[in-house]
Structure formats: structure tokens, C-alpha cells
Amino acid sequence: MMILTRYIFRTMSFGLALAVALLLSIDVLFGLIKELNDISPHYSLGDVFFFVILTIPSKIYELFPVSAVMAVVVSLGALAAGSELVVMRAAGISQLRIAGMMLMALLVWLVPVTLMGEYMSPKAEQMAQQFRNQKISAGQATSVTHAVWIKDGDVVFRSNKMTKQPETGEYLLSGVTVFELEKQQLVQVSEAEKALYANKQWTLENLKVSVFSEQGVEFKHLESQRWQSRIEPKILNLSTTRAKYLSLRDLKQLQQFNTQSGGLQSAYQMAWWAKLAFPLLVMTTALCGMVVLFGNVRNAGFSQRLVIGMVIGIVIYLMNKTLLNVGEVYHLSPPLMTIVPPAIICGIALLALRGGIKRF
């Protein structure tokens, strides 16, 4: 049995490498085509290639469920075409047992991919976006190139742009506005020309302060003012990064920051649960490929199996993305949108492999 397990592992590994290479090539090609439209004297062709290379880890992680089902249908489909699966079945090995060996082989690669999605791809993606923004803006920005809004308790913070001083490592914000609330009523607005973050505190410079009261509005001008706030440059960077590119650690930090505001926003909550449900999603797509594999498709050629595997993976991938977007827009339960659907599909696939459902 160990010999058979190793043989299935080698077959799955080859199919998985082929699927990852194929999907990654297509995705990288489209990414290059998209970035070529933004080439300028400040954003050269070499910069485009460097940016796309940095996004490769996140692409591998995001496309891994599709790669898994393609690997199943292609590699084990080849075994079926060569009657090797028939021999396994004749030796008394059930479809469910074969599926279990396939999942164990897939799990060996799922672990490093999951770790890559947690530790490598978020940092690489954020670095890629910072590099691209800096180049396109001719070195005038690092990561936040558009207005960012963030709430810290009764304070709403807005900034137009953030730059990092390479010689000191300090952060400089321009076009800063601080809205201070009291019992959901606006009591003060401070508009600063710039804000410098150093020694874990902000220094606002050239302020125009408007104080609202029952008597009216009082205006005053200040040269500078120190501002203590939990809003740090890293929080600003995380809040402007797409939720799906954040790690669980980053999402946890945002959750701790937003505790006073009622917890994470819907997009970040959905991203948190999607990260947790990622292994289940990969296993579900692989099992769907197994169900198809033991059907009539085992008589199909390589190209047909490749197309079928890709279609299955893309359908489940799009279904998962649709559910995530619907849940985010309508503020539905994240576990309901991320865990329940693949768990149901996984249960149906296991039942089909046991022979409880008649396949076509």
C-alpha cells in the first residue's frame, strides 16, 4: 500500500506542477499585458517585470484550488486511461480509499502553499503595490496614493498621501484632516498641511482648527500640535490594502484596532474566514475532480481532461468569489458564506464516491 501511495503522490505532484505552471503562465501573461499600458519614463519595462514577479506568490495561492482540481483530473485521469485505476479497483481498493490517498498527496503541498499565503504572499503583494505606486507617482508616494479614511473611536482621520523618508525612516502625510466627534456630533475639525510620524506619535503642522459649539464656529491657527493616536502608518497601509491580500496576522491587528469601533468591516471579516476555509475549499475542488474522474470522463483524452478540470475549478472558484462578494455587500454571516457551501459540496462528493449518488 505504501508503494501505491508513493506512486499516487508522484503522479499528483507532476500534475499539480503542470497545472500551477499553466495557470500561472496565463495569469502572468495577462498581468504583463495589463501593466504595459501604464509604462512611462518613471515606470519602465524592467519595473513591470519586477512588479509582476512580486505578485507571483499571491497568484499561486489564489489559483491553488483550480490547480488542485486540474491536477486530479489530468494526472489521475491518465491513470484511468491506462487502466491503472481499474487494476486498483480490481485489487479491492475502493474509490473512497483512492480519494483519501489523493487528498493525502495534495495535503503535502497544501501545507506549504497555505504557509506561503500567510507569510510570503501578503508581504510580497504589499511590496509590489508600494513599488508600483512609487514608480507611477515618480517617487512621490509609497503605498497610500489616494485619500484614505480611517476611524479611531470618536476621531475620523483623513489623509491625501503618505510618503516615507528614506534617510530617517519617518512617515510624512500631506493634506491631513482630523474630525473629532462627541456623542456622534462634530465638535472640531483640524486641517493640517502635513503630519510627521516619529517616536510613536504624530506632529501636525500648520493647522487650521474649527471648533463647533452652540455659540457658533471658532477658528484658530496653530503652527504645530502633537497628536496622540492609535492610528499608525502600518494601520494606514493595511487599511488601504485589499482584504484578500492581508494575512491572518494583519487582519487580527486590524481587528484589535477596530475593537472600539465595533469590530472589523465586512470585507475584512469575510477575508478572515476565507483564509480559514481555504484548505477546505482546496479539498472540495479536488474531490469534485475525483467524482468526474470516476465517471465517463476517464475515457477522454488529455486535452479533454485538461479542459474539464479547468472548467470545474473555474466554476467553483467563481462560485466562491460570488458568495464572498454577496456576503460582503449584504453583510451576511462570514462562516455561512465561506465554510457551509464547500462543506456541503464536499459531503455530496464523498457520498458520490461511496456510491450513494448515481453519476453520469
Query: With bands split at pLDDT 50, 70 and 90, how would you rate the model's confidence at 341?
Result: very high
Query: With bands split at pLDDT 50, 70 and 90, how would you rate the model's confidence at 360?
Result: very low
What pLDDT, on the 0 to 100 scale, is given for residue 356?
56
Q: Report if residue 253 sits inside a domain.
A: no
Residue percentage of the chain with pLDDT more than 90: 43
Q: Are residues 130 and 274 in the same domain?
A: yes
Q: Report if residue 254 sits inside a domain.
A: no
Q: Are residues 127 and 157 in the same domain?
A: no
Over 60: is that where the pLDDT of 263 sits? no
Q: Which of 160-164, 226-230, 264-268 has the highest mean pLDDT?
A: 226-230
Given 194, 223, 240, which residue is the final one in a domain?
Answer: 240
Report the alpha-carbon distance of residue 221 to residue 210 in Å, rounded: 9
Q: Are residues 215 and 304 in the same domain?
A: no
- Taking only the tens place, the pLDDT of each residue in 74-99 is 887 778 777 787 788 788 888 888 88
Q: Are residues 130 and 276 in the same domain?
A: yes
Q: Are residues 13 and 107 in the same domain?
A: yes
Q: Are residues 6 and 81 in the same domain?
A: yes
For range 235-255, the mean pLDDT: 85
Q: Are residues 100 and 158 in the same domain?
A: no
Asked if 85 and 98 count as a contact pair (C-beta separation under 8 A), the reply is: yes
> What is the total count of domains within the chain?
2
Q: Report if residue 255 sits inside a domain.
A: no
Q: Are residues 154 and 129 in the same domain?
A: no
Q: Are residues 43 and 62 in the same domain?
A: yes
What pLDDT, on the 0 to 100 scale, is given for residue 269?
87
Residue 251 or 153, more confident: 251
What global pTM score does this model have?
0.83
Domain that holds residue 41: 2-137+265-353
Q: Report if residue 359 sits inside a domain.
A: no
- Taking only the tens place, the pLDDT of each residue in 109-128 is 999 999 999 999 999 998 89
Q: Are residues 289 and 331 in the same domain?
A: yes
Read out DSSP for 179-239? EEEETTEEEEEEEEEEEEEETTEEEEEEEEEEEEETTEEEEEEEEEEEE--S--HHHHHHH
- Cα–Cα distances (Å) from 18 to 24, 69, 149, in that order, read 10, 12, 43
Each residue of 155-181: b (16+ CB within 10 Å) or e? bbbebbbbbbeeeeeebbbeebbbbbe
Q: Are residues 11 and 46 in the same domain?
A: yes
Q: Are residues 200 and 349 in the same domain?
A: no
State which amino acid sits at residue 192: A
What average pLDDT does the structure give for the chain? 85
Q: Report if residue 309 sits inside a domain.
A: yes
Asked if 121 and 207 count as a contact pair (C-beta separation under 8 A), the reply is: no
Q: Report if residue 68 sits inside a domain.
A: yes
Q: Report if residue 360 sits inside a domain.
A: no
For range 99-113, the mean pLDDT: 93
Query: Per mean pLDDT, which range of 30-39, 80-89, 278-287, 322-331 is the poorest?
Result: 80-89
Q: Report if residue 331 sits inside a domain.
A: yes
Give me the CATH number covering residue 192: 2.60.450.10
